[in-house]
Chains A and B, each alone.
Chain A
Amino acid sequence: AQSVTQLGSHVSVSEGALVLLRCNYSSSVPPYLFWYVQYPNQGLQLLLKYTSAATLVKGINGFEAEFKKSETSFHLTKPSAHMSDAAEYFCAVTGTSYDKVIFGPGTSLSVIP
């Protein structure tokens, strides 16, 4: 069965510091992987996605993620945090029939001035 775990429900970083949000997945089929971001009182929007091409994926707002099959991980990083990055971040994996997306529980990112 497909599943996603996100280590750390809350992460705090200082402005300008490295952002690292962890995601591990379980998949019985070659996965498609996504990171979505949710700002307060808004819907989710796509940050980036892995669709079996390059293992290092670059997204919007300076974020990137690396697909590591051996570690079943898809961690999200950004070299330097900005106050505007404070939001909820969701990792997601496709279902076994590629018919739906399974979302992780989310990680709330706080950026300290």
Chain B
Amino acid sequence: DARVTQTPRHKVTEMGQEVTMRCQPILGHNTVFWYRQTMMQGLELLAYFRNRAPLDDSGMPKDRFSAEMPDATLATLKIQPSEPRDSAVYFCASGRDLSTDTQYFGPGTRLTVL
């Protein structure tokens, strides 16, 4: 059963530290999405890629967040420096096409910034 994998599953860090979250999309999927989920804001789209090219990252705080796809099997989301308000669950999802296809979500990275 093909699945999206995310590492780490949990991360506790101190304010000001760099955080890197990794995602391995399902083999053959050409779109990757990064979401953030909090109780207050719900599910927010941060950025998405098609064929490794970033299509939109307008949902991300530009000064501290960055998203990349170094290759087709790896997507990364970095926060530098991290702040307590970044505490959330970060999900990666992949799909075969843009919005018309099913998105397959990973299990998420639960980030706590102290």
A residues with a Cβ closer than 8 A to B are 32, 34, 36, 41-46, 49, 51, 90, 94-95, 98-101, 103, 105-106
**Pair A101/B105 contact, Cβ less than 8 Å:** no
**In contact, A105 and B48 (Cβ under 8 angstroms):** no
Residues from chain B with Cβ under 8 Å of A42 in the complex: 107-108
- In the complex, B103 has a CB within 8 A of chain A: yes
B residues near A101, Cβ cutoff 8 Å: 45, 99, 103
Given known A94-B100, A98-B98, A98-B99, contact A43–B4 (CB-CB < 8 A): yes
Main secondary structure of the interface of B (DSSP, over half): strand
Does the CB pair B107–A43 fall under 8 Å?
A: yes
Contacting residues of chain B (53-109) with chain A, CB-CB under 8 angstroms? 55-56, 91, 93, 98-100, 102-108
Q: How far is the CB of B92 from chain A (nearest CB, A)?
A: 8
Contact yes or no, B99 A95, CB < 8 A: yes
A105 x B42 contact (CB < 8 A):
yes
A41: chain B residues within 8 A (beta carbon): 107
Chain B 22-46 near chain A by CB (<8 Å), digits 1 or 0: 0000000000010000000011010
Choose one: B42, B100, B107; the contact of A98 (CB below 8 Å).
B100
Asked whether, in the complex, the Cβ of A100 is within 8 Å of the Cβ of B99, the reply is: yes
* 8 nearest A-B pairs in the assembled complex, by CB-CB distance: A43-B105, A94-B99, A44-B105, A103-B43, A46-B102, A101-B99, A99-B98, A105-B42
Query: Using Cβ atoms and an 8 Å threshold, which residues of chain A touch B55?
Result: 99
Task: From A98, A101, A105, name the one whose CB has the most chain B CB atoms within 10 angstroms.
Answer: A101
| CB of B13 to closest CB in A, whole Å | 20
Q: A43-B105, A51-B100, A100-B56 are in contact. List 20 more A-B contacts (CB 8 A).
A: A32-B99, A41-B107, A42-B107, A43-B91, A43-B108, A44-B93, A44-B105, A90-B43, A98-B98, A99-B48, A99-B55, A99-B98, A99-B99, A100-B33, A100-B45, A100-B99, A101-B45, A103-B42, A103-B43, A105-B42
